[in-house]
Structure 1
Amino acid sequence: MVIEPINRLLDTVPFDAVFYSLDWHPPDHVSFIDNVHMRELHPSNPVPADKAQAYDTVVFAGPPPMKQRLWPRHCVQDTWGAELHKDLKIMDGAVKIYKGTNPEVDSYSVFWDNKKLTDTSLGNQLRLRGATDIYICGLAYDVCVGATIADALAIGYRSILIEDASRGVDLADIEKTKATIVNNNGVIVNSDEVLAMVEGRDRRPELGYKLAMELKNAMEDK
Structure 2
Amino acid sequence: MDRVIECERYTFNDSMNACFTAFDKDRDGFLNFEEFSCVCKALFRNDDGIIYRMEDSEMKDIFEIFDLNQDGYIDLNEFLFCWNKWIKVIVRPVSAILIIDVQNDFISGSLNISNSPAQHSGIEVIEPINRLLDSVQFDAVFYSLDWHPSDHISFMDNLQLRPLHLTSPVSYENAQVYDTVVFEGPPVMSQKLWPKHCVQNTWGAELHKDLRIVQNSTKIYKGNSSEIDSYSVFWDNMKLVQTSFCSQLQEKNITDLYVCGIAYDVCVGTTVNDAIASGYRTILLDDCCRGIDKNEIEKTKSNSINNHAVVVNSNQL
Following superposition, the deviation at residue 180 of structure 1 comes to 1.7
Choose from 72, 83, 103 the match for 2:195: 72
Radius of gyration: which is bigger? 2
Indicate the percent of aligned positions where both proteins have the same amino acid. 63
- Per the TM alignment, residue 176 of structure 1 is displaced from its structure 2 partner at its CA by 2.0
What CA deviation, in whole Å up to 9, does each residue of 1:53-73 have, x standing for no partner?
221111111123210011111
Runs of 4+, deviation exceeding 4 Å: none
Distance of 1:182 and 1:67 partners within structure 2: 27
State the SS of the aligned residue for 1:18: strand
Q: In the comparison of the two structures, how many residue pairs are matched?
A: 194
- Structure 1 runs not aligned, ≥5 long: 195-222
CA distance in 1, matches of 2:127, 2:286: 13
1:9 is aligned, of 128, 132, 137, to 132
Deviation, structure 1 residue 179: 2.0
**TM-score normalised by length of structure 1:** 0.85
Residue 131 in 1 paired to residue 258 in 2? no
Structure 2 residue 214 is the aligned partner of structure 1 residue 91: yes
Once residues 21 and 92 of structure 1 are traced to their aligned partners in structure 2, the CA distance between those partners, rounded to angstroms, is 15
Aligned-pair CA distance for 1:105? 0.4
**Whole-angstrom CA distance in 2 between matches of 1:53 and 1:17:** 40
Correspondence 1:172 to 2:295: yes
Q: What is the CA distance between 1:50 and its match in structure 2?
A: 2.5
Q: Secondary structure at the match of 1:51?
A: coil
RMSD after superposition: 0.9
Question: Equivalences for 1:191-210 in 2 at 5 Å?
Answer: 191-194=314-317
2:282 counterpart (149, 156, 159):
159
Range with bigger deviation, 20-29 or 61-70: 61-70
Question: Residues of 2 paired with 1:176 and 1:53: CA distance?
Answer: 25
Q: Counterpart of 1:82? A: 205
Cα deviation for residue 172 of structure 1 reads 2.1
Q: Which runs of 5+ in 2 are unaligned?
A: 1-123
CA distances 1:64-117 after superposition (whole Å, capped 9, x unpaired): 321001111110001111100010000000000001011100000111111111
Which letter does structure 2 place at the counterpart of 1:191? S
